[in-house]
Amino acid sequence: MSWGSELWDQFENLEKHTQWGIEFVEKYSKFVKERSEIETNYAKQIRNLSKKYQPKKNSREEEESKYTFCRSFLTTLNELNDYAGQHEVIAENLTSQILTELSRYLQELKAERKLHFHDGRKAQQHIETSWKQLESCKRRFERDCKEADRAQQYFERMDADINVTKADVEKARQQAQMRQQMATDSKNDYSSYLQKFNQEQNDHYYTIIPSIFQKLQDMEETRIERIAVCMKTFSDVDRQVLPIVGKCLDGMTKAAESIEPKADSKQVVESYKSGFEPPGDVEFEDYGQAMKRTASDTSLTNSKESKEKPSGKSKGKLWPFIKNKNKLSLKLITLNSHIWNLIEGSGPEDFSHLPPEQRRKKLQGKIDELNKDIQKEMDQRDALTKMKDVYVKNPQMGDPASVDPRLSEIGQTIEKLQFEVQKFEGWLAEVEERMPSKSDSHRRSGLFETQNNTAVSNNCAQDRESPDGSYTEEQNSETQVKVNTHPVPTSSTPEFDDEFDDEETLPTIGTCKALYPFEGHNEGTISVTEGELLFVIEEDKGDGWTRVRRNEDEEGYVPTSYVEVFLETNAKDS
């Protein structure tokens, strides 16, 4: 149906309708713009969320990356970041494919509508002007006809009156003829203009207005079609990113499926295994028989303190301390395992602050890292050597001597790295020699007790040291425990009778001189003054403490760095 034939008299309504259509385009443009802003803000928030939970560059995060669930979470964050990128693509496509096009089209639509209604108003004004002229001609014709009738009647009255002169009659007759001629001319003008108006009116309502309204109809249909295209594009923009969004979601799903609880449990063992042997069984001590109970050779208590403590209380007996010390060993190992990662950055270069197993892994990792650096430098050296050979064969390509400084620098770097590797390999060999072998697990309970208490004694000593190896006077309630590292020999362990005798004192293996004063506030330590001479009964076993004796009743541990030790010849040989 055509607007020109059906709506020929609805000019104002069509004007309102087309204006509403333009307002709808503006409203839809605003809707798309707000949707684009939502997508942009959503993508920004998703990216910020992904960035917020990305692992930081520290040792703790590096340790976490060893676990499958942490790697899966990192993959999820990366996929989420890509997912946010697709929402940015949606926002960009909405702006470029819809907003930009609609903005340009809206300007064209307004200009076209203005032009069409300008032509329509012009045609409307023209037909209204023609109608007014027709009405003017009609009124003039009517007026002339009335004047002609009045002049004719006046002439007839003058002609019938015998008292009127002939000249007056002639004048009235001429006036009547003139009025009649004017009425005839007005009639002809009115008739001519009426025909002209009818023709213009016919053209107006059947040609001009239908043509303008048809253009408006085409404009409106084009507007609706353009809106339909934009709405289709609106959905296609989302559909275009669905494959990539699906890949992101698939990546998250695969990351979740890659989590391996067993592997993570195994990694816990790899991360926190100390390498220490578990404590052995506690020997039965028969108090029903009269026997002499002596302190072990690695006990932190002296004989004087043992004599002063009442024998009827459990605190004076040796076995409760062994039991508590076993618990303390496990507790210290567990505690240390949680702080290894915190002190790695400030620890010594040889990782001596770590337990054997962890130290071995760190040293091996350092060696592997250095070997990779060496291989990288060697590859560069080989490439430069080949380049130098090319320059030698083809001097026009370059000067062979220009490569020598770089080759010399790489050679020095390789030598330094190889020296570092040798240093760390030496430390690794030392650790592997000290680590207990698998066959040690089959030893008897007395040896278990000895190993356990020695390890605990080392832990106690480490607890009294700061990470850089210096001594601190800060006391720890868990480390203030007296330890009996050797059980009382019984008939069940005859093979150790020679090693663990019933004497209260250990043999002297040398002497030492105190270089600095030391106040032994902690349990098991002994205070010394600068320049004091003492007997050495147990040398440093790698924990930083040396066991000394002042007299028969006073013995204990002092920091090895505080004394100058002079071992006897037979002790050094042994």
Please calculate the CA angle 206-209-210 and round it to the nearest 5 degrees.
Answer: 65
First to last CA, the chain: 119
> For 115-167, how does the pLDDT look when each residue is reduced to its tens digit (9 = 90+)?
999 998 999 899 999 999 999 999 999 999 999 999 888 888 888 887 878 88
- Phi-psi bin for 524: left (phi > 0), alpha (psi -120 to 50), beta? left
Percent of the chain surpassing pLDDT 70: 76
Rounded distance between C-alpha atoms, residue 27 and residue 73, angstroms: 42
Is 467 within 8 Å of 346 (Cβ atoms)? yes
- Token couple for 71: 């790697």
Domain ranges of the chain: 3-264, 368-434, 510-567
Is 279 within 8 Å of 329 (Cβ atoms)? yes
The residue with greater pLDDT, 538 or 520, is 538
491: amino acid identity, one letter: S
**Stretch 337-364: mean pLDDT:** 66
Per-residue burial over 302-337, b if 16 or more Cβ lie within 10 Å, else e, is bbebbeeeeeeeeebbbbbbbeebbebbeebbeebb
What separation in angstroms does the CA of 303 have from each of 34, 39, 306? Answer: 86, 80, 5
The whole-number pLDDT of residue 16 equals 92
Rounded distance between C-alpha atoms, residue 58 and residue 299, angstroms: 41
Rounded distance between C-alpha atoms, residue 317 and residue 314, angstroms: 5
The whole-number pLDDT of residue 289 equals 62
The whole-number pLDDT of residue 461 equals 37
Verdict on whether the full-model pTM lies above 0.75: no
Do the first three CATH levels of 3-264 and 510-567 match, i.e. the same topology?
no
- The DSSP secondary structure of 503-545, one letter per residue, reads -SSPPP-EEEEESS-B---STTB--B-TT-EEEEEE---SSSE
Output the CATH code of domain 510-567.
Answer: 2.30.30.40
- Check residue 436 and report its DSSP letter: P
Is the per-residue pLDDT at 301 higher than 90? Answer: no
Q: Which helix (H) or strand (E) holds 557?
A: strand 555-559
Percent of the chain surpassing pLDDT 90: 32
> For 166-215, how does the pLDDT look when each residue is reduced to its tens digit (9 = 90+)?
888 888 889 889 988 998 998 899 899 999 999 988 998 888 889 998 99
For helices 319-343 and 445-463, give the axis angle rounded to 10 degrees: 50
71: amino acid identity, one letter: R
The whole-number pLDDT of residue 393 equals 83
- Token couple for 64: 């976490």
Which class is 3-264 in CATH?
mainly alpha
Is 551 within 8 Å of 504 (Cβ atoms)? no
Is the per-residue pLDDT at 522 higher than 60? Answer: yes
Is 17 within 8 Å of 108 (Cβ atoms)? no
The whole-number pLDDT of residue 300 equals 42
Between 162-176, 295-309, 416-430, 471-485, the lowest mean confidence (pLDDT) is in 471-485
**Stretch 346-353: mean pLDDT:** 72
Q: What is the maximum span of the chain, computed from C-alpha positions, in angstroms?
A: 193
CA nearest neighbour of 315 among 33, 523, 528: 523
